[in-house]
Amino acid sequence: MSRVLLFRKKSSRILPFCCTFLLFLFCFSGISFAFHHKDQQSTATTKATLSVHFSGIKESKGRIVLSVYDNPEHYRKQPLQVLRVATATAQQHGISVALPAGTYAITIYQDANGNGKIDRNFMGIPTELGGFSNNPRIVMGPPSFKRCAFRLEGNLHTTILLH
């Protein structure tokens, strides 16, 4: 009878260890699979490079602020991506953005004084240079997402006029 009790005590020590080891292995294999799956998804979504050049810049002070939007509801409120580049660098090299294929709109302005926002006069008209993708004619207020939207399917080079 003492042999049976000794055998049970040894097995009772091994069983929790085996269960813990299997649980540990199962959990981390799932995490590994999740990371592997995410990597496969990101490589499946092809990225294209959008190269933006500017014209109309008069002074090379401050920064160029480029905002990319992929949704009409978020247009001019919540950008997908914001890039800030020194004006002198942006004039020489432009700004390049890697994006998945899709429909986008771009707003851009020169933050000459570096305060992080578009300065306006007493009538609400911007006093700093700005522009939009597709260079739409600006009549009363900023253009809509639809007027600025473009389809990005491969590498694209565009020039935006700042006025």
pLDDT in tens, 7-30: 555 555 666 665 565 555 555 555
pLDDT surpassing 70 at residue 37: no
pLDDT surpassing 80 at residue 45: no
Tokens linked to 4: 């049976």
pLDDT surpassing 50 at residue 44: no
pLDDT surpassing 80 at residue 90: yes
Q: Based on the domain organization, do 67 and 137 belong to the same domain?
A: yes
40: domain range?
1-44
Tokens linked to 52: 């933006």
pLDDT at residue 68 in the model: 98
DSSP state of 134: T
* CB contact at 8 A, 163 and 129: yes
Confidence band, pLDDT 50/70/90 cuts, at residue 46 = confident
Q: Based on the domain organization, do 9 and 88 belong to the same domain?
A: no
pLDDT at residue 117 in the model: 92
pLDDT surpassing 80 at residue 36: no
Q: Based on the domain organization, do 18 and 63 belong to the same domain?
A: no
Q: What is the mean pLDDT of residues 83-95?
A: 88
List, in order, residues 6 or more apart from 80 with CB less than 8 Å away.
68, 69, 70, 71, 74, 104
Q: Based on the domain organization, do 84 and 11 belong to the same domain?
A: no
Distance between the two ends of the chain, CA-based, in angstroms? 96
